[in-house]
Homo-oligomer: A and B are copies of this chain.
Amino acid sequence: MSFEITKELTKNPKTKPDSSNLVFGKHFTDHMFIMDYETGKGWHSPRIVPYQPILLDPAAKVFHYGQTIFEGLKAFRKADGTVVTFRPNKNFERLNRSNERLSIPAIDEKLALEALRELLLIDQDWVPSEEGTSLYIRPFVIATESALGVNPSEKYMFMIIMSPVGSYYAEGINPVKIFVESKYVRAVRGGVGNAKTAGNYAASLKAQEEAHEQGYSQVLWLDGVHLKYIEEVGSMNIFFRIDGKVVTPALNGSILDGITRNSIIQLLKHWGWTVEERQISIDELVEAQKSDKLEEIFGTGTAAVISPVGEISYAGEKFTIRDGSTGELSAKLYDTLTGIQRGALEDPFGWVVEIK
C-alpha cells in the first residue's frame, strides 16, 4: 500500500496517566490522524499531527445539523508486548455504512486501516498492559462547511483520536441493572438507528438521566413503532439465554450491527449453541422470567465486552435475574473474547490483527 500520510511528530510528549487508574475517554495520546474532504477534490491531505484542538467556523454544519458519524474499537497489548486490534476492518466497513446513511462521502477503508496502523505505531507506548486495560480508538467524521441551510456539507474532516482506558470492571465483572424504557424512544425503522451517528446518542440522554435517578445504570430500548420489541441497551446489543437457547434481536434497521454482537454469535455457534436472531417482545421476556426459563441476560459492546444484567425494571415491576449473579455463559464469553483479544487464547476466527 502506498498512501502518502504525512507525519508531524510532537515536540512535547505528554506524561502518560497512571494506567492502574484510567478514567474512560479523558486522556488522549500524543498524536491524531486527520484527513480533509472537499467537493471536487475528494478526501485529501491524510496526516498524523500532534493531538491538538481544531479550529472551526461557528457556522460549521456539524454544530447545526449534526452531520457526523463515528466508530469505536480497541487496541490491546499482548503478554509478549505486541500491540493488536480486534476486527478493525469491521469498524471501517460500518463507518462507511454510517457515512452512506448520513450522506457523507465514503472513505477508502484501506487508507483508514493504514492510517490507524501508522498512528498506533507512533503512539504504541500509550497502549497500556495491565489486565483489562486497552487503548480506545475513536475514528469520526464531522461536516465542516461553514454554511447554514439543511443539505449535505461540501467539506468534512475525518479524524482518529485514541484514549488509554481502564478495565470496565474495576472490581471484576459485575451485573448491571437496566430500566426498560417505555416512554422515550431512541430510533424507529426508516430512521438512523443503525448508523453510528451523534443524534442517536443525544436522543438517549434524557432517558438515561431518568433511569440513573431511579438507580438503573442503563436503558433497554423498545422499538419505536410498538414500544414492545426489544432493541438494544445504551451502547450495547443485548442477548438472552432462554431455555437453553440464545436469543438476540435481529438487525432490523433500527439497532446497531455491533461487532461484539457479531463475534459473540460466531463464538456461540462455534460452541454448538442455538442462536436465534429474531424479534423478541418484552412480554416474551417477562413470561420467560416468570416461568423460570430466563437463564441469563447480557449486553455486548466494545467498551464492556460482556455486561451481565442482574435486574430489569419494566412497567413498575422489578425482575431479578438469577439472583443478580453473573451467568456462567456470560462469564465464559467474557473470558474467551478477552482471552482472544489479548492473545492468551487461540484466535480460530482470525479476528486479531497485529500492528507492526
CB of A190 within 8 Å of the partner chain: yes
Q: How far is the CA of A208 from the CA of B70 in the complex (A)?
A: 22
Does A235 contact B150, Cβ atoms closer than 8 Å? yes
Q: Could you tell me the dominant secondary structure of chain A's interface residues?
A: loop
The distance from the CB of A276 to the nearest CB of chain B, in whole angstroms, is 26
Residues 168-181 of chain A, each 1 if its beta carbon lies under 8 Å from chain B, else 0 = 00000000000000
List, in ascending order, chain B residues with CB within 8 A of A183's CB: 190
The distance from the CB of A161 to the nearest CB of chain B, in whole angstroms, is 5
Does A56 contact B58, Cβ atoms closer than 8 Å? no
Q: Count contacts on A: residues with CB < 8 A to the other chain.
A: 64
CB of A65 within 8 Å of the partner chain: yes
Does A199 contact B203, Cβ atoms closer than 8 Å? yes
The distance from the CB of A66 to the nearest CB of chain B, in whole angstroms, is 3
Q: Which of A143-176 contact B (CB under 8 A)?
A: 147-152, 159, 161, 163
Does B151 contact A202, Cβ atoms closer than 8 Å? no
Q: Which of A193-244 contact B (CB under 8 A)?
A: 197-206, 208-209, 224-225, 227, 234-235
The distance from the CB of A272 to the nearest CB of chain B, in whole angstroms, is 35
Q: Which of A56-88 contact B (CB under 8 A)?
A: 56-59, 62-68, 70
Other-chain residue from B140, B188, B208 in contact with A188 (beta carbon distance below 8 A): B188
Does B63 contact A202, Cβ atoms closer than 8 Å? no
CB of A337 within 8 Å of the partner chain: no
CB of A53 within 8 Å of the partner chain: yes
Does A64 contact B201, Cβ atoms closer than 8 Å? yes
Other-chain residue from B32, B185, B199 in contact with A202 (beta carbon distance below 8 A): B199
List, in ascending order, chain B residues with CB within 8 A of A65's CB: 198, 201-202, 205
List, in ascending order, chain B residues with CB within 8 A of A54's CB: 55-58
CB of A356 within 8 Å of the partner chain: no
CB of A322 within 8 Å of the partner chain: no
Write the chain B residue with the least CB distance to A138. Answer: B148
9-residue interface stretch from A1-9, A20-28, A121-129: A20-28
From known contacts A161-B58, A185-B189, A185-B191, infer whether A234 and B63 are also in contact, taking CB-CB under 8 Å: no
CB of A142 within 8 Å of the partner chain: yes
Other-chain residue from B57, B101, B199 in contact with A206 (beta carbon distance below 8 A): B101
Does A66 contact B150, Cβ atoms closer than 8 Å? no
Q: How far is the CA of A121 from the CA of B142 in the complex (A)?
A: 34
The distance from the CB of A23 to the nearest CB of chain B, in whole angstroms, is 8
Does B68 contact A66, Cβ atoms closer than 8 Å? yes
Q: How far is the CA of A70 from the CA of B198 in the complex (A)?
A: 15
Q: A65-B205, A152-B205 are in contact. List 7 more A-B contacts (CB 8 A).
A: A62-B63, A65-B201, A66-B66, A103-B209, A152-B209, A185-B189, A198-B198
- 8 A–B contacts from the bound complex (CB under 8 Å): A53-B55, A53-B56, A54-B56, A58-B159, A62-B198, A64-B140, A102-B206, A190-B224
